[in-house]
Amino acid sequence: MKTEKETGNTLLKDFLVLIKVGIVNSNVITAFTGIWLGLYFTDQHFFANLDIVLLGVIGIALIIGGSGCLNNYIDRDIDHFMERTKKRPTVTGKVNPLKVLYMGLSMVIIGSLMLLVASPAAALLGLFGVFAYVVMYTMWTKRRIVSNTVVGSISGAMPPLIGWAVVDPALHPVAWGLFLLMFVWQPPHFYALAMKRTEEYRAAGIPMLPVVKGFHSTKVHILIWVALLLPIPFLLAPVGMSIVVLITLLNIGWLLLSFKGFSFKKKFTKEEDLKWANKMFIYSLNYMTISFVSMVIVSLINLF
């Protein structure tokens, strides 16, 4: 029999899987950047607004985690086809699906109420983000159209916008720059991941781009989306020219890596394409983390 400690650890692991803790963590980083820059551009002090900041961060984390639970509930019939999702508690039967549904709804409601206390605008944007992820992406486009990734990018780009609205409902143009950066960043990030998981998506019947159009078309789409990132750093110029330079360099590096997926001399093997896709995926993760953390650091330096 399992000890009480082992049971507690198992329950915690299941909970973290259900809320998609990796997605929660990465989105909290972008949301906090939105909050921080919102305070910075409105000349508000961080510690003087710590209660609002905490309401915002926790509220955003709850609605993202709740959306993850709802996604798990909805996709439980196809998750067993994929290696990375087949051990989810909703697939193995370790957790009653209805409990996952209720938990997801509860987290979204509590998180939305916390955002409402902080800022009605943040609550409205948060609810739209949940709708975009759960309804527009998970329930509507994910299983039907090849452009599902682009639709899903709307919800993924919402956290910095919600975060900014927590402290500044007016939404400075830089807030929209953060939204655009996240929106355009997502297709090349998820297309690279989809290339690595193509056969799993095919088995699950999900019309991801590499499943429907093949690797070459996917690589072309990735190249185009990475190229679209090039002008976006200039929307963030008010944060500091160092940010414009840094993100531009990251964009050029990503673009050069994108071009390495093509060759006029030979046709790439599947193994070579997958190796390239893995490099693109890792680069995208570093790109997002470096960009958003750097904006917080640069604005902090500017205060002194």
Sequence-distant (≥ 6) Cβ neighbours of residue 110 within 8 angstroms: 62
Q: What's the CATH architecture for 173-304?
A: Up-down Bundle (1.20)
Tokens representing 180? Answer: 């655009």
pLDDT of residue 304: 79
Res 25: pLDDT: 95
With tokens 């990018």, the residue in question is 153
Alpha-carbon gap, residue 25 to 39, rounded angstroms:
21
Q: Tell me what pLDDT residue 3 has.
A: 56
Phi then psi for residue 230, to 5 deg, are -55, -45
One-letter amino acid for residue 157 of the chain: A
Show the 3-state SS of the chain.
CCCHHHHHHHHHHHHHHHCCHHHHHHHHHHHHHHHHHHHHHCCCCCHHHHHHHHHHHHHHHHHHHHHHHHHHHHHHHCHHHCCCCCCCHHHHCCCCHHHHHHHHHHHHHHHHHHHHHHCHHHHHHHHHHHHHHHHHHHHHHCCCCCCHHHHHHHHHCHHHHHHHHHHCCCCCHHHHHHHHHHHHHHHHHHHHHHHHCHHHHHHHCCCCHHHHCHHHHHHHHHHHHHHHCCCHHHHHHHHCHHHHHHHHHHHHHHHHHHHCCCCCCCCCCHHHHHHHHHHHHHHHHHHHHHHHHHHHHHHHHHHC
How many Å apart are CA 64 and CA 68, to the nearest integer?
6
How many angstroms separate the CA atoms of 290 and 284, rounded? 10
Q: Is 3 exposed, middle or buried (0-12, 13-18, 19+ CB in 10 A)?
A: exposed
- Per-position pLDDT tens, the chain of length 304: 455 454 456 788 888 989 999 999 999 999 999 999 999 999 999 999 999 999 999 999 999 999 999 999 999 998 888 877 888 898 888 899 999 999 999 999 999 999 999 999 999 999 999 999 999 999 999 999 999 999 999 999 999 999 999 999 999 999 999 999 999 999 999 999 999 999 999 999 999 999 999 999 999 999 999 999 999 999 999 999 999 999 999 999 999 999 999 987 778 899 999 999 999 999 999 999 999 999 999 999 988 7
Say if domain 1-171 classifies as CATH 1.10.357.140. Answer: yes
Question: What is the per-residue pLDDT for 10?
Answer: 78
Report pLDDT for 11.
Answer: 83
Do residues 166 and 112 touch, judged by C-beta distance below 8 A? no
Domain ranges of the chain: 1-171, 173-304
CB 122 within 8 A of CB 115: yes
Q: Measured between alpha carbons, how far is 117 from 126 in angstroms, rounded to an integer?
A: 13
> What amino acid occupies position 46?
F
Paired tokens of 207: 């019309």
Q: For position 147, what pLDDT does the model report? A: 95
